Amino acid sequence: MFKVVKTDSIIPVLDRYTAAFDGLGVEFVATSCETEDDLIRECGDADALLVLKEPVTARVIASLKRCRIISRFGAGVDNIDVEAAKAAGIEVAIVPDASVEEVSTHAVAMILALVRRLPRYDRAIREGYYSALRDGGSIRRTQAMSVGLVGLGRIGTMTARKLSAFGFQLWGYDPYTSDEAFRAAGVERRPLDEIIANADVVSLHMPLTAETANLIDATRLEAMKPEAILVNVSRGGLVDEAALARLLTVGRLAGAGLDAFAEEPLPASSPLRVSPNTLLTPHAAFCSQEAFHEVCFKAFDNVAQVIRQVGA
């Protein structure tokens, strides 16, 4: 008997997902684990974990006596100690492709909304102003603007393809992506700090790792043009949020679109909540009915594949 434990409280247990285990002799347990201690208590004898955002730390992994696979509902692994899992011989599986369409569309939507000053116009009408030039006199054509894509993986590449329809000049930084892939995406490779200093829009499409944490720090934010916009649909830990809020408040940056934050939910005390010219969404870029079902099905199927390998 292969014991599979689903540890989050958000993903529903539907027959279409658990059907992946039909005929495989699986004991399936759905529980809710919010802390390391919860995971240690509930999962010690599990052969597989299905996780969302629970803290699968080195301490948790050390307590897993039989685990073969940790399968995550999503693409990121910043809540999983991958090195500890690797050392323990535990496979870590993700679903890297389920929300590429959704996240790239969300990034484009944020860019266009901020370039066209939609949050400002909406607020102006609600405050009793009705003048296009009040907040729009400095709006530029998209064909005259540049977007710097920091990260050109699946989502960054799809974002580039969608942005190209609007005529933006596309620059990119990604040390792990080939020149051929840059050319295929229609993106000009440039150094990161050159993009930061010159792009009209900087859009982030990188995972949160030790290498990328605080990548857009205060120094880089201050190097951006005052009329520039920052968009982040990746992870909050990529950006120095306090510095970003300060620069937005003093008018040193033109705007920011943020779907991810260092602490989620975004604390009530966060200065980003009252920063001007911001468009904030609750880590929702991945959302669509299609993507949700795809990520769930594939996460369950990742576990089923390992069970079949073990039984072979």
- Catalytic residue IDs: 235, 264, 283
DSSP3 helix / strand / coil % (the chain, rounded to 5): 40, 15, 40
54 CB burial (10 A radius; 0-12, 13-18, 19+): buried
- β-pair partners for 72: 51
Chain centroid to CA 55 = 17
Residue pair 105/155 in contact (Cβ under 8 Å)? The answer is no
CA–CA separation, 308 and 299 (whole Å): 15
The Cα 172–Cα 148 span in angstroms is 5
- Note whether 246 and 227 are within 8 A (CB): no
Distance separating alpha carbons of residues 5 and 3, to the nearest angstrom: 7
Both structure tokens of 281: 């969404």
From CA 271, how far away is CA 268, in angstroms rounded? 8
DSSP secondary structure, 182-230, as one string? HHHHT-EE--HHHHHHH-SEEEE-----TTTTT-B-HHHHHHS-TT-EE
* Rg from Cα positions in the chain: 22
